[in-house]
Structure 1
Amino acid sequence: MEMPFNDEDNNHETTLVMQNKQSDGVPASTGGSGDHHDPFDIESRSLPTSHFSNKGPALRVVLQLAFQSMGIVYGDIGTSPLYVFSSTFTNGVRHRDDILGVLSLIFYTLTLIPLFKYVFIVLRANDNGDGGTFALYSLICRYAKVGLLPNQQAEDAQVSNYQLELPSSEMKRASCLKSKLENSHFAKFFLLFATMLGTSMVIGDGILTPCISVLSAVGGIKDATPAMTDDRVVWISIVILVGLFMVQRFGTDKVGYSFAPIICLWFTLIGGIGVFNFIKYDPTVLKAINPMYIIDYFTRNKKEAWISLGGVVLAITGTEAMFADVGHFTVRSIQISMCSLTYPALILAYTGQASFLRKNSNFVSETFYKSIPGPMYWPMFVIAVLASIIASQAMISGTFSIIQQSLSLGCFPRVKIVHTSAKYEGQVYIPEINFILMVACVAVTAGFKTTTKIGNAYGIAVVFVMVLTSAFLVLIMIMIWKTHILLVIGFVLIVGSVELLYLSSVLYKFDQGGYLPLAFAAILMIVMYVWNEVYRRKYFYELNHKMSMEKLKEIATDSDICRIPGLAMFYSELVQGIPPIFQHYVENVPAIHSVLVFVTIKSLPISRVAMEDRFLFCRVEPKEQNVFRCVARYGYNDVRNEQEPFERVLVERLKAFMAREFWMSQKMIPSNETEGCVEEVEETEQMGGEEHREMQEGIEAEIETIEGATREGVVHLIGENEVIARKGAGMWDRVLIDYAYNFLKRNVRQSGEVFDIPHKRMVKVGMKYEL
């Protein structure tokens, strides 16, 4: 089937081969920005879509992942009993019933935030199995055009896992919100800003978690060995932290299986000791289930009770890891592990500690170790140290996941992503980030020395991320899930008000260490803003200076330009058109290869793109010039440097496209895929044997063109643009582009390394952009 398409700007006609079947009423073509169209705005699907299976993993795999998740996800929240009561009662227990008030706060906070909000609501907002702030942002980008780059294509919606089955009620409210977001430039910027802020806070959480967990556990040795000074505790903690970051290279899979038994034992022991203390000291603490004790606690202590919420909130540290790490596991596996072991063990541990404190309130600063029965002290000390090491793993893994997501959306400088598991998708390791986290952790531990100040800083990072997650979740409830408005209001009033109350409390301790995560976030936000701002400016520069179709045709047919044997892949990020760097190349090197493929690497706001959906091809007329356009689409969690070389996959898909294009031109491809085989056979039978043989030879000749060029050699042409501020630019633009961005660019990986392009066959083409 041939579809002529007129270029209104250039009055040039190009023929594109389109897939007959279209889904969900999406037109086969997409226009560019504005009223005029560019022939490159339309891409052709090379192969029929192969849909992802909706069948979930087997129960055995889910249970294995649930076990693994114990060693990755819950170390942080699981080690909170080490320091919650001591961080809450910093000035000692003033009233015996204050213990019941704090226990009641802990119980309802654990139930409302980790269990109700995250396990049963937020985990549902995963993006095809992936979580984190960027996953929420990408979901919103799919259902509303809030992205800041004009690279959307109608064909994107045909990717098999791009859309979800959603309820159709409350459509008017959802459409109204969608329209307001799409028409507000401020809203688009604010959503991206909030996403970057959430990402920065999670990374800050990944720095502070190892510090407070390891220091808290190692500090317990001071009770048994008076010779152990604070400085020695700090140095032992630093050695442990360095060792922890060194094992990250082995991957989440191996680390999870190694750590999971220890965490399972940890939860079993703290739960068992909790039951022992509950029976031995004061079973009446069960009264704390009555929320009136919370009201009484605030009535008695007023401002001091509000300030103490900064200690209570440490009981839910690491909760965000459940969502950030869901891509390493599955929603069901995390739900099983949380409900079956983690939540009950934590409730029993805090209840036992409260029972102990009712009789021994003078030991509140050492609650955890003092409440351990004598014979269990040293075993619990060893396991506590191991558990605190593991606690750090949760946010480290989450940090790797969320940076991988931000990379694909152009919001973070290029770093190397190492996929550490062949069995489970989403398990990644980032060497550069691992090193930076290690240095930051050592610096914080050496600088702060005690858990008190780190705890003040820790709370701000935790609650900030939770509030941002709730804000994104409200947008998803209204626009995507189309939840009843009363349920949305109920969520905001209950969960939102509690989180804002905690946020106000932790911000009170800003000058007591709370500035630390905000300082980390500010540094990360500057890096992300600089990279994303210049990334977008470069895109718009190329869009405004792209080559016209007439110019490309003129170059392809120019007799003065030599056609050399071989296949060349010219890489670009521009979806609509050919970047100006190609014209710069031809003007300086008047030779192009016999087969030329313009490859655009495009990120979709989706976690993964199936290989069958990855490539979109079209042929640039005139046909005999063998110039093609290809858009290679990736999700933010896709592997960019596949084990199978990128060029081999692309060439195979290009040959399949050419064969399909030839059959289409001969009206051999059916209009209905489900009846395709029958119709094709019928048409083939109606043809004479000679005619069929000629057509087969025609296809072979087309494919031989590509294979011959491939045998001559494949060259990868990488556009390396140098960006500088334009003449007359203001001071801000010069600092942003000439200094900040170029400093980052000099210190990150180049595109050839990210895509694992063979260096011997890579040619970099330089051009200066004045932005």
Structure 2
Amino acid sequence: MSFEEQVVVDVNEGIVSDHPQLKAKKLSLQKFRRNDSLEIQSRTFPTSHFAASKGPAMTMILQLAFQSIGIVYGDIGTSPLYVYSSTFSNGIKHNDDILGVLSLIFYTLTLIPLLKYVFVVLRATDNGNGGTFALYSLICRYAKVGLIPNQQLEDADVSNYKLESPNNREKRASKLKSILENSHFMKLFLLFATMLGTSMVIGDGVLTPCISVLSAVGGIKQAADQITNDQIVLISVAILVGLFMVQRFGTDKVGYTFAPIICVWFTFIGGIGMYNFIKHDATVIKAINPKYIVDYFSRNKKDAWISLGGVVLAITGTEALFADVGHFNVRSIQISMCSVTYPALILAYTGQASFLRKHSDLVGDTFYKSIPDPLYWPMFVIAVLAAIIASQAMISGTFSIIQQSLALGCFPRVRIVHTSAKYEGQVYIPEVNYILMVACIAITVGFKTTTQIGNAYGIAVVFVMTLTSALLVLIMIMIWKTHILLVISYTLIIGSVELIYLSSVLYKFDQGGYLPLAFAAVLMIIMYVWNDVYRRKYYYELDHKVSPEKVKEIISNANICQIPGLAIIYSELVQGIPPIFKHYVANVPALHSVLVFVSIKSLPVSKVPMEERFLFRRVQPKNLNVFRCVVRYGYTDVRNEQEPFEKLLVERLKEFIAEEFLLSERVLQNDENSNVDGVQELNDGEQLQEAIEKEIEEVERASRAGVVHLIGENEVIASKGANFGKRILIDYAYNFLKKNLRQSEKIFDIPHKRMVKVGMTYEL
């Protein structure tokens, strides 16, 4: 009988049965005899095999496509409210300028949202999740560019972690990978660029509600001249407060509520665009010829270049398309963009251009002036509703990317609420929601008009797009191994267009453009402070970790009292036992009968299947009943909402004990005597069953006696002799953030009655 065909004792049932997992996975003697531990790398024992899930059915894809219209496209869909008025802020000087701007809008919409994002960038999702951190996580998995030294060989075994290895013939991929891995500057630069992109998208989440709602509500002046600008601002603030208050109901419910409204909006702007096209000037269709762009720049020179800051507002919200893809899926976004959004926008801008060819003096109120009189009030109501929904796209995107940055150690702790049991990836963050609301109200009251907000908006939009392109080029070369000519073509066409737009919006820096940069700077400081001290703490624990020999010495000490129960000791340290354990024992000379050191680790991957989440390692010798455990999460995984964490951990621990005991004994027996007779084999099997049952019973007894959660409450201070900058960073900035944000037990839903905090000071 071969090793793989031997029977396995089913501990829970108390019978001997065939174990399909052993048959499916051959385990070599070399693997079991290697001297591995969580000091260097983790050792995993499978509990069940991860079955790749099939893609969603077409019915669900169409449902998600419908929902996405309400969530993703509100922002880009409401751009016709203000694009022409922002572009021609000083009026139209030549009638053919309208054709030049229409041509610019047409090619910008086609190149950036449609070609770049829908057909290229969406291919770079991380297991269905988008945003700047999704691109960064792909690069981190392919090249070792993470700054925290907690990478483990077993991480690459996670189903969602794997990426295609580079072909030996692809020297560019290997060379670029080597440059990134060997350069500390490049690692810092990549992290900095990712943080900047994240900060800018959050900035979008603040500016979108302001400009969209103000633009829509401002249309009421056409019907009621007596309404003042201050009254419009107050109405806008009331709408914004209402919008942020409904966020707690979740994207799922909000999406189904908003989708029909945006569908009506796209139908109206497309229909009115077609009406204006036929009624006023059908010859604007010749704007498809890019010659009119050249003529426009020839006539207006610098003014044409400055006006690009208005044209770029036609693609605001495009980054939300990528950031929000985790709320839906790639196919649903592609379907809704190609079938609804893109055609409606082209018709709307074309119709407005036709109207302006006959009424160039009305460019300041193009949108509302071009609406036929009978449709004015219905369009006003729908425009206000669409503006509210436009804000939803960036708010949802903001929640998604903050969840990602939090998981990767780049954002202070906040509470993540999973709002839909039906669709994964739909989250709500209460603290961030209220901060966004306050910021939106402050900007709306402070600026009062859309002109300066538009200048600020353009900078945030183009900055994020440019950073996305830069990260995407790295992915194209290293991971996709795209042909070099295609990479060069992408860089020259898309990259040059975005850089030209970036240069234009930066020109208006002093006219409101400073706002997103100032906002991003504040966020960058917060993210940098948190990430930097987070890394310093990890290195401190790594340098002061407790060796396995020391653990054995501590537990074997006659002065240490052993009490019944199971203690879960939390630490961020993956490669060793944290120094807080030694500190705890020195002050409280009592230990529980079973100890589990738990490290919560976030992988640069969107999701970790439950079957592959727990990695266990026993601290030798066996009679100590001490275990190490790394619990791996993806950056979009929601923790402890389906069932209590401790229950999951105890179940996985029992499975580990059974499988470790069984497999190690079988391998040892197979190595020493490959010709064991049937009677001896049966006796060994009975002894093995008894040994497994005995050890699992110890764990169950300890669990019944009570589970205690030991949390390390680390106070960090700058070491003696530290320079002024380091003292400011650690003693003031980091500790201020830490004291005013959620603590670990709130993040992991640890019951207060069974929680013990252990204080220790780290001198960093």
TM-score by length of 1: 0.93
Superposed CA deviations along residues 536-576 of structure 1, whole A, max 9, x for unmatched, are 00000011111122211101211111111000000001011
User: How far has the Cα of 1:50 moved from its partner?
Assistant: 2.6
Q: Could you tell me which residue of structure 2 aligns to residue 154 of structure 1?
A: 153
User: How far has the Cα of 1:47 moved from its partner?
Assistant: 1.6
Question: For residue 664 of structure 1, what is the amino acid of its counterpart?
Answer: L
Unaligned runs of 5+ in 1: 2-17, 672-679
| Residue 366 (structure 1) aligned with residue 359 (structure 2) | no
* Separation in structure 1 between the aligned mates of residue 608 and residue 580 of structure 2, nearest angstrom: 28
Q: Could you tell me which residue of structure 2 aligns to residue 4 of structure 1?
A: none
Superposed CA deviations along residues 350-399 of structure 1, whole A, max 9, x for unmatched, are 00000000000000000000000010000000000000000000000000
Contact 2:163 2:479 in 1 (8 A): no
Q: Could you tell me which residue of structure 1 aligns to residue 206 of structure 2?
A: 207
* Separation in structure 2 between the aligned mates of residue 702 and residue 263 of structure 1, nearest angstrom: 61
Q: 2:732 aligns with which of 735, 739, 743?
A: 739
* Separation in structure 2 between the aligned mates of residue 291 and residue 368 of structure 1, nearest angstrom: 24
Superposed CA deviations along residues 161-191 of structure 1, whole A, max 9, x for unmatched, are 1113477475211000000000000000000
* Separation in structure 2 between the aligned mates of residue 61 and residue 501 of structure 1, nearest angstrom: 40
User: How far has the Cα of 1:702 moved from its partner?
Assistant: 1.3
Q: 1:749 aligns with which of 736, 742, 745?
A: 742
CA distance 1:504–1:745, change in 2 (3 Å)? same
* Separation in structure 1 between the aligned mates of residue 709 and residue 430 of structure 2, nearest angstrom: 26
* Separation in structure 1 between the aligned mates of residue 755 and residue 480 of structure 2, nearest angstrom: 46
CA distance 1:684–1:447, change in 2 (3 Å)? farther
Q: Could you tell me which residue of structure 2 aligns to residue 628 of structure 1?
A: 627
Contact 1:170 1:484 in 2 (8 A): no
| Residue 410 (structure 1) aligned with residue 409 (structure 2) | yes
User: How far has the Cα of 1:665 moved from its partner?
Assistant: 2.9
* Separation in structure 1 between the aligned mates of residue 351 and residue 169 of structure 2, nearest angstrom: 47
Q: Could you tell me which residue of structure 1 aligns to residue 55 of structure 2?
A: 56
Contact 2:135 2:472 in 1 (8 A): yes
Q: CA RMSD in A?
A: 2.3
Q: 1:701 aligns with which of 678, 694, 699?
A: 694
* Separation in structure 2 between the aligned mates of residue 204 and residue 40 of structure 1, nearest angstrom: 41
Superposed CA deviations along residues 193-220 of structure 1, whole A, max 9, x for unmatched, are 0000000000000000000000000000
Question: For residue 132 of structure 2, what is the amino acid of its counterpart?
Answer: T
Contact 2:131 2:401 in 1 (8 A): yes
CA distance 1:455–1:165, change in 2 (3 Å)? same
Contact 2:37 2:617 in 1 (8 A): no
* Separation in structure 2 between the aligned mates of residue 30 and residue 103 of structure 1, nearest angstrom: 70
Contact 2:38 2:617 in 1 (8 A): no
User: How far has the Cα of 1:45 moved from its partner?
Assistant: 1.1
SS in 1 for 2:126: coil
* Separation in structure 2 between the aligned mates of residue 721 and residue 386 of structure 1, nearest angstrom: 48
Q: Could you tell me which residue of structure 2 aligns to residue 674 of structure 1?
A: none
User: How far has the Cα of 1:40 moved from its partner?
Assistant: 2.6
User: How far has the Cα of 1:37 moved from its partner?
Assistant: 8.7
CA distance 1:48–1:362, change in 2 (3 Å)? same
Q: Could you tell me which residue of structure 2 aligns to residue 722 of structure 1?
A: 715
- Pairing 1:90-489 to 2, within 5 Å after superposition: 90-165=89-164, 168=167, 171-489=170-488
- Pairing 1:60-79 to 2, within 5 Å after superposition: 60-79=59-78
* Separation in structure 2 between the aligned mates of residue 200 and residue 28 of structure 1, nearest angstrom: 45
CA distance 1:28–1:389, change in 2 (3 Å)? farther
Contact 2:75 2:316 in 1 (8 A): yes
User: How far has the Cα of 1:668 moved from its partner?
Assistant: 7.1
User: How far has the Cα of 1:684 moved from its partner?
Assistant: 11
CA distance 1:374–1:556, change in 2 (3 Å)? same
SS in 2 for 1:41: coil
SS in 1 for 2:250: helix
Contact 1:463 1:502 in 2 (8 A): yes
CA distance 1:132–1:239, change in 2 (3 Å)? same
Superposed CA deviations along residues 224-267 of structure 1, whole A, max 9, x for unmatched, are 00111100000000000000000000000000000000000100
User: How far has the Cα of 1:687 moved from its partner?
Assistant: 5.5
Contact 2:37 2:43 in 1 (8 A): no
User: How far has the Cα of 1:54 moved from its partner?
Assistant: 5.0
Superposed CA deviations along residues 641-677 of structure 1, whole A, max 9, x for unmatched, are 2320000000000000001112113317999xxxxxx
Contact 2:32 2:664 in 1 (8 A): no
- Pairing 1:633-712 to 2, within 5 Å after superposition: 633-667=632-666, 690-712=683-705
CA distance 1:291–1:705, change in 2 (3 Å)? same
Aligned residues: 741
Question: For residue 724 of structure 1, what is the amino acid of its counterpart?
Answer: I
SS in 2 for 1:131: coil
TM-score by length of 2: 0.94
| Residue 520 (structure 1) aligned with residue 519 (structure 2) | yes
Contact 1:281 1:358 in 2 (8 A): yes
Contact 1:19 1:44 in 2 (8 A): no
CA distance 1:496–1:155, change in 2 (3 Å)? same
CA distance 1:29–1:138, change in 2 (3 Å)? farther
Contact 1:29 1:42 in 2 (8 A): no
Q: Which moved more, 1:553-562 or 1:160-169?
A: 160-169
Superposed CA deviations along residues 575-612 of structure 1, whole A, max 9, x for unmatched, are 11111111000111111110000001111000000011
Contact 2:166 2:478 in 1 (8 A): no
* Separation in structure 2 between the aligned mates of residue 659 and residue 683 of structure 1, nearest angstrom: 22
Q: Which moved more, 1:380-389 or 1:47-56?
A: 47-56
Contact 1:166 1:481 in 2 (8 A): no
User: How far has the Cα of 1:638 moved from its partner?
Assistant: 0.5
Question: For residue 653 of structure 1, what is the amino acid of its counterpart?
Answer: R
User: How far has the Cα of 1:695 moved from its partner?
Assistant: 2.5
Question: For residue 731 of structure 1, what is the amino acid of its counterpart?
Answer: F
Question: For residue 754 of structure 2, what is the amino acid of its counterpart?
Answer: R
* Separation in structure 2 between the aligned mates of residue 684 and residue 258 of structure 1, nearest angstrom: 70
Contact 2:105 2:311 in 1 (8 A): yes
Q: Could you tell me which residue of structure 2 aligns to residue 713 of structure 1?
A: 706
Contact 2:164 2:479 in 1 (8 A): no
Contact 1:46 1:653 in 2 (8 A): no
Superposed CA deviations along residues 291-346 of structure 1, whole A, max 9, x for unmatched, are 00000000000000000000000000000001000000000000000000000000
CA distance 1:23–1:735, change in 2 (3 Å)? farther
Question: For residue 765 of structure 1, what is the amino acid of its counterpart?
Answer: V
| Residue 769 (structure 1) aligned with residue 762 (structure 2) | yes
CA distance 1:138–1:460, change in 2 (3 Å)? same
Question: For residue 61 of structure 1, what is the amino acid of its counterpart?
Answer: M
Question: For residue 520 of structure 2, what is the amino acid of its counterpart?
Answer: A
* Separation in structure 1 between the aligned mates of residue 27 and residue 223 of structure 2, nearest angstrom: 69
* Separation in structure 2 between the aligned mates of residue 689 and residue 171 of structure 1, nearest angstrom: 54
Q: Could you tell me which residue of structure 1 aligns to residue 541 of structure 2?
A: 542
SS in 2 for 1:628: strand
Contact 1:170 1:482 in 2 (8 A): no
* Separation in structure 1 between the aligned mates of residue 24 and residue 180 of structure 2, nearest angstrom: 31
* Separation in structure 2 between the aligned mates of residue 746 and residue 476 of structure 1, nearest angstrom: 38
Q: Which moved more, 1:505-514 or 1:46-55?
A: 46-55
* Separation in structure 2 between the aligned mates of residue 738 and residue 167 of structure 1, nearest angstrom: 45
* Separation in structure 2 between the aligned mates of residue 412 and residue 705 of structure 1, nearest angstrom: 40
Q: Which moved more, 1:462-471 or 1:687-696?
A: 687-696
Superposed CA deviations along residues 39-87 of structure 1, whole A, max 9, x for unmatched, are 6323221325633525210000000000000110000000000000000
Question: For residue 416 of structure 1, what is the amino acid of its counterpart?
Answer: R
Contact 2:36 2:42 in 1 (8 A): no
Q: Which moved more, 1:687-696 or 1:523-532?
A: 687-696
* Separation in structure 1 between the aligned mates of residue 199 and residue 591 of structure 2, nearest angstrom: 45
Unaligned runs of 5+ in 2: 4-20
* Separation in structure 2 between the aligned mates of residue 305 and residue 356 of structure 1, nearest angstrom: 21
CA distance 1:347–1:181, change in 2 (3 Å)? same
